[in-house]
């Protein structure tokens, strides 16, 4: 896989983040108590948390209806004695609720990849099902409440013995403390938008974005808005329900970052404060905001569970891979969260939620439909996203740092191997490029970049892309069983090829 040209199949992301040279990574075969990492689907690739539906294995759903768990929808066995009234303990509930397998169409995000695909709108409104359910619940609650209230009034008019205490002067919208999750959410939600993108071919996606500056620029993922980049439609809806049309200013497929801009942006928009992702520590509190499964303004919490996680993600289709040295979080991230902010405890943005590791079976909500978060979410560090956003706003195209060599994308444990041949039969080491000038050759195995251990091609690419063109990096490689260390001045590539 060339650092300049993507397009080859994307391998599984390595199971461990890069580690400093003086801290060798523990072997997965010898680590005690280490939980195996969930496979990423058909190709093992962590993918965008909003991908097009794909077929999934129904084994998990079928297994739920085992002989040990009677089907709640089936009639009772006429030969079985009825349970006596008042029996204790009561009979065990069925293992799978009757509704567990309803509503799924067998489709789901094969790799939790691109954007959540909302269902086709029905006549009379998009949210008829939800509204109807709420309305029925309200009517039932109203009827029951009225009956109980009348009964209580008839039975006892004397409330002097009541033990309930009512709060006095309770404000309609209480102010939440800034240091709490509620306070952070209350302050951040007005600056987060739900994005709806539709391409000229009718394909669409739903994701999230957040206000980047007072000029109306919004930061999000490339895979959320890519379908609307060429003649498509794009809209942004704020938490107060106001909707604005938008346009794509620039996108970087390799970084999976995009900048869009509101048309006729309101004058009172407030950008989110950007934090410093380099200062984030494992265990720090995280708060994610997005529109999982189209449910706008959803807030979830967790921690930073790992840093510098090498991730190669795609939507499982024909799109090229994106690479990142990601922040890993266990805050729930699902289809529709893509492009949304990952905040720290102060409410500052530390990352852009971009990909999740899917469950192996994919049998999730509603039986065999889309599976939910398993606690492995990945965010683009905001320091990198900010640099890319500045490039896109200024020139409309991304700039990538490169070493000028193609490397294998096979998952390995011994480094990134420079291939014998580049994409399309070209030379794997660009003549007079950075790698060529430093003396690298086909077959060399790169094992370290500065103080970071490199265990595969995707790890090397992700680490290189944390730098800028012109930066000098120290590369350690092996040739004929001997280790060598050289300095390489990174070159650049403009635009997505």
Residue 115 is among the residues annotated as catalytic for this protein: no
User: How many C-alpha atoms does 280 have within 13 Å on its Cβ side?
Assistant: 34
User: Angle at CA 334, nearest 5°, toward 333 and 340?
Assistant: 60
Residue whose C-alpha is closest to residue 211's, from 231, 237, 232 = 237
Q: Which member of 338, 354, 361, 373 is catalytic?
A: 338
Residue 57 is among the residues annotated as catalytic for this protein: no
The answer to whether the CB of 115 falls within 8 A of the CB of 208 is no
Q: Which member of 2, 114, 227, 256 is catalytic?
A: 256
Q: Which residues contact 201 (CB under 8 A, 6 or more apart)?
A: none
Instruction: Give the number of other CB atoms < 10 A from CB of residue 493.
Output: 18
Residue 256 is among the residues annotated as catalytic for this protein: yes
Q: Got the DSSP string for 380-430?
A: EEHHHHHHHHHHHHHHSS-EEEE-SBBB--S--SS-EEBPSS-GGG--SB-
- The residue written with tokens 């600056």 in the block is 191
Instruction: Give the number of other CB atoms < 10 A from CB of residue 247.
Output: 14
Give the distance from CA 468 to its chain's centroid: 25
Q: Find the radius of gyration of the CA atoms of the chain.
A: 26
Q: Which member of 223, 313, 322, 456 is catalytic?
A: 223
The sign of the dihedral angle between the CA atoms of 447, 453, 458, 463 is negative
Instruction: Give the number of other CB atoms < 10 A from CB of residue 268.
Output: 7
The answer to whether the CB of 403 falls within 8 A of the CB of 433 is yes
Q: Between the CA of residue 126 and those of 119, 215, 225, 337, what are the distances in Å?
A: 9, 32, 21, 20
Give the distance from CA 395 to its chain's centroid: 27
At 236 the three-state DSSP class reads strand
Residue whose C-alpha is closest to residue 224's, from 308, 291, 312, 310 = 291
Cis peptide before 240 (omega within 30 of 0): no
- The residue written with tokens 């993108």 in the block is 197
The CB-based long-range contact list for 383-386 (8 Å cut-off, 24+ gap) reads 383/276, 383/277, 383/278, 384/255, 384/277, 384/324, 384/325, 384/465, 384/466, 385/219, 385/255, 385/257, 385/351, 385/352, 386/274
The two tokens of residue 264 are 């006729």
d(CA 381, CA 77): 58
Catalytic residue positions? 223, 256, 338
């Amino acid at each position: 896989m060339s650092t300049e040209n993507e397009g080859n199949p994307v391998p599984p992301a390595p199971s461990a983040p890069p580690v400093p040279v003086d801290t060798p990574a523990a072997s997965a075969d010898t680590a005690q108590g280490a939980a195996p990492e969930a496979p990423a689907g058909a190709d093992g690739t962590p993918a965008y948390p909003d991908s097009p539906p794909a077929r999934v294995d129904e084994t998990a759903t079928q297994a739920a209806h085992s002989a040990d768990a009677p089907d709640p929808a089936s009639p009772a066995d006429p030969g079985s004695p009825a349970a006596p009234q008042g029996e204790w303990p009561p009979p065990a509930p069925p293992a799978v609720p009757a509704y567990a397998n309803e509503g799924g169409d067998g489709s789901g995000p094969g790799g939790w990849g691109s954007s959540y695909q909302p269902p086709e709108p029905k006549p009379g409104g998009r949210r008829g099902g939800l509204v109807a359910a709420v309305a029925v619940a309200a009517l039932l609650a109203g009827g029951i409440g009225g009956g109980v209230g009348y009964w209580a009034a008839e039975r006892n008019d004397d409330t002097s013995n009541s033990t309930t205490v009512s709060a006095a002067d309770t404000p309609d919208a209480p102010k939440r403390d800034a240091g709490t999750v509620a306070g952070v959410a209350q302050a951040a939600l007005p600056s987060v938008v739900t994005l709806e993108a539709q391409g000229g071919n009718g394909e669409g996606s739903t994701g999230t974005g957040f206000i980047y500056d007072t000029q109306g620029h919004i930061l999000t993922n490339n895979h959320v808005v890519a379908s609307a980049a060429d003649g498509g439609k794009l809209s942004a809806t704020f938490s107060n329900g106001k909707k604005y049309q938008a346009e794509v200013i620039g996108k970087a497929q390799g970084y999976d970052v995009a900048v869009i801009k509101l048309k006729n942006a309101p004058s009172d928009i407030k950008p989110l404060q950007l934090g410093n992702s380099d200062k984030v520590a494992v265990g720090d509190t995280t708060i994610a905001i997005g529109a999982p499964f189209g449910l706008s303004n959803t807030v979830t919490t967790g921690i930073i569970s790992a840093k510098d996680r090498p991730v190669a993600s795609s939507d499982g289709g024909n799109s090229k891979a994106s690479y990142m040295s990601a922040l890993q979080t266990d805050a729930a991230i699902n289809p529709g969260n893509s492009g949304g902010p990952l905040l720290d405890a102060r409410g500052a943005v530390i990352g852009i939620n971009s990909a999740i590791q899917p469950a192996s079976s994919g049998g999730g909500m509603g039986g065999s439909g889309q599976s939910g978060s398993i606690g492995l979410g990945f965010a683009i560090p905001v320091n990198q996203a900010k640099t890319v956003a500045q490039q896109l706003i200024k020139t409309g195209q991304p700039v990538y740092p490169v070493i000028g060599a193609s490397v294998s994308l096979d998952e390995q444990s011994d480094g990134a191997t420079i291939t014998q041949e580049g994409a399309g039969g070209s030379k794997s080491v660009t003549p007079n490029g950075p790698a060529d000038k430093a003396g690298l050759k086909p077959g060399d195995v790169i094992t370290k970049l500065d103080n970071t251990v490199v265990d595969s091609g995707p790890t090397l690419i992700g680490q290189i892309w944390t730098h800028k063109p012109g930066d000098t990096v120290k590369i350690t490689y092996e040739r004929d069983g001997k280790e060598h260390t050289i300095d390489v001045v990174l070159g650049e590539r403009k635009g997505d090829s």
